[in-house]
C-alpha cells in the first residue's frame, strides 16, 4: 500500500531480538542483516514491483511451510521486500507484488502527519501465513493507493477493528489486534495473498481517480 513517499545483529533468539527492536523503535539494519541460522543476508536487493495485469497478482498465494521460514531463501526474500518497500516509499508490501507467490506480507508505517491525518507508528512487522478475523464490522473509508496499481487511488471502506494471527519471521505464532488506519493497511496487504486488489473492493467505481486528479479535486486537507 502507498500513501505517498516517505522521504541485526547476530542473535540466538530471533523473536526476542525483533521484539526489543520494536520496543526501542529501531528499524532493521540492512547492513547487518543476519538470520538466526547464521547465514549472512545480502545488504541490499531491490526487486521490481509487478503491476496490475500481471497474472501473479490474481492468483492465491501458497502457504509457507514451517521449515521454509528459517531458510536462506525466505530470509533473503524478507530482506528484499523490506528494501523494495523502503525504496518505493510505501508502507506495506506483499510477496506476490514482487512475483513471489507465497503468503507473506510486511508493513512499516512511519507515523506522524500524512494525507490521512496524524498516523500512529507501526514498526516493521512481518506476517507469514496470516489469518484475519473481523472483531467489529463497523467500517470507515480511506482513499487507498497501491504500489502495483501506480497512479490511481480509490475510496475503499473496510472494517476498522481486526485481529491477525500469523507466524513471525522466526517461525513463532503471534496475534495482533489492529484498529483504524492500521486495520485498513493490513487488510489491503493481505488481500494480495488472495489475488485481490483494492479496486475489487470499490463500492462505487466513480470514486476511483488518477493521482493528479485526486489531489486536485478530491483530497481533503489533513486535520
Catalytic positions are 189
For 66-125, give the DSSP string.
HHHHTSHHHHHHHHHHHHHHHHHT-SEEEGGGGT--BSEEEEEE--EEETTEEEPPEEEE
Cα dihedral 199, 53, 167, 158, rounded to 10, equals 0
Q: Cβ distance 172 to 197 under 8 Å?
A: no
Write the CB contacts of 85 (distance below 8 Å, at least 6 apart in sequence). Answer: 91, 92, 93, 106, 108
Half-sphere exposure of 71 (CA within 13 A, CB side): 7
How many other β-carbons are positioned within 10 Å of the β-carbon of residue 175?
10
Phi and psi of 177, rounded to 5°? -100, 130
Compute the distance between CA of residue 197 and CA of residue 61 in angstroms, rounded to an integer: 13
Amino acid at each position: 500500500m502507498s500513501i505517498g513517499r516517505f522521504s541485526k545483529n547476530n542473535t540466538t533468539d530471533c523473536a526476542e531480538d525483533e521484539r526489543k527492536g520494536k520496543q526501542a523503535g529501531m528499524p532493521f539494519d540492512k547492513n547487518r542483516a543476519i538470520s538466526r541460522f547464521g547465514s549472512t543476508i545480502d545488504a541490499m536487493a531491490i526487486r521490481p514491483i509487478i503491476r496490475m495485469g500481471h497474472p501473479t497478482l490474481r492468483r492465491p498465494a501458497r502457504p509457507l511451510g514451517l521449515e521454509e521460514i528459517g531458510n536462506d531463501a525466505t530470509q533473503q526474500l524478507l530482506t528484499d521486500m523490506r528494501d523494495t518497500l523502503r525504496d518505493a516509499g510505501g508502507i506495506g508490501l506483499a510477496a506476490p507484488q514482487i512475483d513471489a507467490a507465497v503468503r507473506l506480507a510486511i508493513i512499516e508505517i512511519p507515523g506522524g502527519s500524512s494525507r490521512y491525518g496524524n498516523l500512529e507508528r507501526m514498526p516493521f512487522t512481518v506476517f507469514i501465513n496470516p489469518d484475519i478475523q473481523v472483531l467489529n464490522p463497523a467500517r470507515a473509508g480511506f482513499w487507498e493507493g497501491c504500489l502495483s496499481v501506480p497512479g490511481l487511488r480509490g475510496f475503499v471502506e473496510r472494517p476498522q477493528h481486526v485481529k491477525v494471527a500469523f507466524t513471525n519471521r522466526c517461525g513463532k505464532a503471534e496475534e495482533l489486534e489492529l484498529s483504524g488506519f492500521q486495520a485498513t493497511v493490513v487488510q489491503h496487504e493481505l488481500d494480495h495473498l488472495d489475488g485481490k486488489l483494492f479496486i475489487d473492493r470499490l463500492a462505487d467505481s466513480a470514486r476511483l481517480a488518477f493521482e493528479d486528479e485526486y489531489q486536485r479535486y478530491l483530497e481533503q486537507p489533513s486535520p
